[in-house]
Structure 1
Amino acid sequence: MGEDGDSCYSGGLDGTVRCWKMPDLNVDPYDNYDPGIESSCSADGTIRIWDPQNSSPCLSVFNKEREHGTPTSVAFVATDPNQVVVSFDGGETLLYDLNTEQSTTALETQTKDGSELINRVVSHPSEPVSITAHENRTIRFLDNKTGKVVHSMVAHLDAVTCLTTDPKGTYLISGSHDCSVRLWMLDNRTCVQEITAHRKKHDEAIHDHYRHSESYKINWAKRD
């Protein structure tokens, strides 16, 4: 969801990112689609920064030569607006400088064979820490300054697919293919609530959830 609540963004297996205008409650949501509100990006392995309102919306391109493989997740660093954190399918997590378009720090998330998949990376709202969700059921907390793992925990019974933090940095919400959504206290990294709301289909369950920008309500989605 956009911060203003007037737009939302979706990513598809067709390699596009689309910007959608949220309809007024009094308007038929199935009315004709307006192509003027669409923006898209390539599925060629690059990370791109977009300004949907700009006539040339693509502002920056990272990983142009696919030197780190294919990105799996990207997030703006909350404590440094000039940085983004990106995870890759080979197990790497990198910090990029938005001004130079170059990687500045490699975060310690790889296994010894470098084969571990990271499904999601998010930035801590108030501390220089990146949080990664892994295929091997773990969640890891990484220090952006030193690049070191400060905490690692087995968080679910199956792959951890999605993460969300609240704006105040109190809670972390995780979703998994074990069909559960779990609420964690960020300060002591303990699970305080679990919601089992879905069933598996084709060995998969929860793929994503999001925090509503106004009410901070957590919503989750599954692939039917």
Structure 2
Amino acid sequence: DPGVLSGVLEGHGDAVWGLAFNPAGDRLASCSADGTVRIWDPRHDAGACLSTYDAQSGEPGSGASPSPGRPPRRCPHPRLVPAEHGVPTSVTFSATEPGHAVVAFRTGAAVLYDVEAARPLLTLEARLGGGGGSQINQVVSHPSQPLSITANDDRGIRFLDNRTGKVVHSMVAHLDAVTCLAVDPNGVFLMSGSHDCSLRLWHLAHKTCVQELTAHRKKHEEAVHAVAFHPSRALSASAGADALAKVFV
């Protein structure tokens, strides 16, 4: 029954704010305020944590307490891969290379990792001009192309080539920080949300905005927190700081 808790993955020492399954569903990536990204095998009770990428190059903190009556799945022997980019903010698996994952960071960096080898492959040039970067709030993968797309605090959206690490397109997309992204399953449209209270729908091939709507009210200087497309139906959804979740046809 998918509605019944089957286990707890324990290991992070602070808030977990990003999760991503690989296309096959046999690997789960998580990123946390404790500075680590962890790769899990969610199918097995023993040895669920396969590797850890640690921004501080040290032993990870202990995880939260498990739910009563459910044994936690611990990460007893993580392999630490030092990173120089600070705290991770988002993680996604590549749709074209399922063994690769892209991790985004507060510093504006984005790094492509080989999940099975537990090593970084390429630092994507997400920082424009080679200077200090703008925090990346979310990174998503194109469903059929080797592209990573980032939502940035500087109001921008960037398109990164996973093969070369280069920025192939960058645009100022909103009037405030871009907080979230979603690509439709066919790879035709990109939806973005922002603290400017708006949702914007972009045609990916032309990089043009085809629809905009004000979906949420601002609360505590925040507005849109998440957007999503339905995997098989013509539906999209958003969630905001105003405590509302909305579904659009």
**Paired amino acid for 2:141:** S
Q: Distance in 1 between matches of 2:6 and 2:136?
A: 34
Question: For residues 22 and 99 of structure 1, do their structure 2 counterparts lie closer, same or farther at Cα, with a shift above 3 Å needed?
Answer: closer
Give the superposition deviation at 1:215: 2.5
Deviation of residue 41 (structure 1)?
4.7
Q: Are residues 170 and 159 of structure 1, via their aligned partners in 2, closer, same or farther at CA, if it must alter by over 3 Å? A: same
The separation in 2 between residues aligned to 1:90 and 1:189, in whole angstroms, is: 25
> How many matched pairs?
193
Map 1:96-175; keep pairs closer than 5 Å.
96-111=113-128, 112-175=130-193
Correspondence for 1:52: 42
1:81 matched to 2:72? The reply is: no
TM-score (norm 1): 0.80
User: Do structure 1's residue 93 and structure 2's residue 110 form an aligned pair?
Assistant: yes
Following the alignment from structure 1 to structure 2, what is the Cα–Cα distance between the partners of residues 178 and 118?
A: 17
> 1:26-68 deviations in whole A, cap 9, x for unaligned?
xxxxxxxxx6443345142111122323113212222344532
The match for 1:181 is 199
DSSP-derived class of the 2:210 partner: strand
Asked if 1 retains the 8 angstrom alpha-carbon contact of 2:139 and 2:150, the reply is yes
Q: C-alpha separation between the residues in 2 aligned to 1:214 and 1:59?
A: 31
Alpha-carbon contact 2:109-2:133 (below 8 Å) kept: no
Maintained 8 Å contact 1:45/1:66: no
Give the 3 Å change call, closer, same or farther, for CA 219–41 of structure 1 in structure 2: farther
Q: Residue type matched to 2:52 in 1?
A: V
Deviation at 1:22, TM superposition (A): 5.0
Q: Any stretches of 5+ residues in structure 2 without a counterpart?
A: 13-32, 55-80, 242-249
Contact map agreement 2:41 2:50 (CA 8 A) in 1: yes
1:27 aligned residue: none
Distance 1:212 1:197 in 2: 18
Q: Hey, what's the Cα distance between the residues in 2 that align with 1:137 and 1:41?
A: 33
Secondary structure class of the residue paired with 2:52:
strand
Q: Deviations over 1:171-215 (max 9, x none)?
A: 101000010111111111111111211111111100112223343
Are the counterparts in 2 of residues 208 and 220 from structure 1 also a CA contact under 8 Å?
yes
CA–CA distance in 2 between the matches of 1:103 and 1:70?
16
Q: Which residue of 2 aligns with 1:39?
A: 9
